[in-house]
Amino acid sequence: MIPGVRDLTGTSLGRYEVKEKLGAGGMAVVYRAVQSSLGREVALKVLAPALTEDDEFLRRFENEARALASLDHPNILAIIDFDTIDGTTFLTMPLARGGSFEDVVEKGPMDPGTAWIRFLRPVADALGHAHAAGIVHRDVKPANVLVHADGRPLLADFGLARRGAGATPLTLAGTTIRTPGSRPPSSGLAKPPTA
Q: What is the pLDDT of residues 156-177, one digit of tens each?
A: 987 655 665 545 444 443 333 4
Query: Which range, of 6-20, 60-74, 82-96, 129-143, averages the lowest pLDDT?
Result: 60-74
Q: Across residues 114-118, what is the average pLDDT?
A: 93
Residue intervals in the chain for CATH 3.30.200.20: 12-94
Pairwise CA distance, residues 120 & 17, whole Å: 35
φ, ψ at 141 (rounded to 5°): -160, 165
Name 45's Cβ contacts closer than 8 Å, sequence gap at least 6.
28, 29, 30, 90, 91, 93
Please tell us whether the domain made up of 101-188 is placed in CATH 1.10.510.10. Answer: yes
Does the domain spanning 12-94 belong to CATH 3.30.200.20? yes
Verify whether residue 86 is a known catalytic residue.
no
Q: Which segments within the chain are labelled E, that is strand?
A: 12-13, 16-24, 28-35, 40-47, 81-85, 88-94, 135-136, 145-147, 153-155, 162-163
* Residue 18 to residue 32: CA distance in whole angstroms: 6
The string of pLDDT tens digits covering residues 72-110 is 999 999 999 999 998 899 999 999 999 999 999 999 999
Q: Give ranges for CATH 1.10.510.10 in the chain.
A: 101-188
**pLDDT tens, residue by residue, 17-52:** 999 999 887 778 999 999 999 999 999 999 888 888
Reported pTM: 0.77
**Which of 81, 103, 125, 139 is an active site residue?**
139
Average pLDDT, the chain: 82
